[in-house]
Amino acid sequence: MSLFSLLNTSAWFVLADTTDAVIHSSNPWQLTFQDPASPTMAGIINLHHDIMFIVVLLSIFTCWLLIRVIYFFDMEESHSTPAFRQIYNLPDKTVHGTALELGWTIVPTLILLLIALPSMALLYSIDEIVEPSLTVKCIGHQWYWSYEYSTDLTVDGEQLIEGDDTFVFDSYLVDESDLETGDLRLLEVDNRLVLPIQKHIRVIVTAADVLHCWAVPSLGVKMDACPGRLNQVALFIPRPGIYYGNCSEICGSRHGYMPICVEAVSFEDYCTWLCNKYFDA
């Protein structure tokens, strides 16, 4: 995947329709990626397809070479005669070959460079390369998530909420008996992580007890939550939607029961939600 294709993908997401919220979650027996909902995830999928193309070609070549070696060098007497070697252009000696040794050194090096260059371009684009509009802190617990928001948000040059304050709320799995029509089993939470679309967001990830992992596949996010350490990941969500994820680090008996639910809304709706959540806290 070239850097130009990554930039084109990013532009496509920015211009995407932002009127309808789409639910992004895994499907039963799903073997492929979830639909990409961020430039990061689109770049990861494109890079995967490019590398898989190279892997398939190398696998075909390796199988052909293996079959050829098994057939021509099976130690049969008929295959060791000078006439047979001359017909199939086989070497008389297989101990040393300068051209062959140069080939199996240079060609793999070029293939690795072909894989490494787009990988580094994607890795750089995933890093935080612009100043974020807001910062959210995610804290992993056994077995739920806590989210800490800052009220230091400016709208049209004015601070949305007076004072420099923070508020925290917990996000628990909704029990099956409390699910409503349309809710997803083992994925719905009582308090969603609400974020604005088309804003650069910094997510700080940590844990309060044991190792956790904050992962949302559709957004291309997977960051370890380590006790006593702060990790961070950059987010850019181009369109409204509901994005589900899970803890991806085995953290105890209820590891599979601490889902993540990110709800992306317009910036105006986010400001309204932030004010209501702050004054209700």
Which pLDDT tens digit goes with each residue over 74-130? 656 555 666 666 666 666 655 667 787 888 899 999 999 999 999 998 888 888 777
- The span from the CA of 227 to the CA of 11, in Å, is 37
- Give CA angle at 222 (216, 226), nearest 5°: 125
Q: What is the mean pLDDT of residues 129-138?
A: 86
Contact between 139 and 148 under an 8 Å Cβ cutoff? The reply is: yes
According to DSSP, the β-strands at 144-150 and 166-171 are antiparallel
> pLDDT at residue 16 above 80?
no
pLDDT of residue 146: 96
pLDDT of residue 8: 39
**Band of pLDDT at residue 45, cut at 50, 70 and 90:** very high
Angle between helix axes 3-14 and 39-72 (nearest 10 degrees) is 140
pLDDT of residue 156: 55
The encoded tokens of residue 36 equal: 């990409």
pTM beyond 0.85, yes or no: no
| Domain 134-280 falls under CATH 2.60.40.420 | yes
Q: Which of 14-23, 145-154, 242-251, 252-261 has the lowest mean pLDDT?
A: 14-23
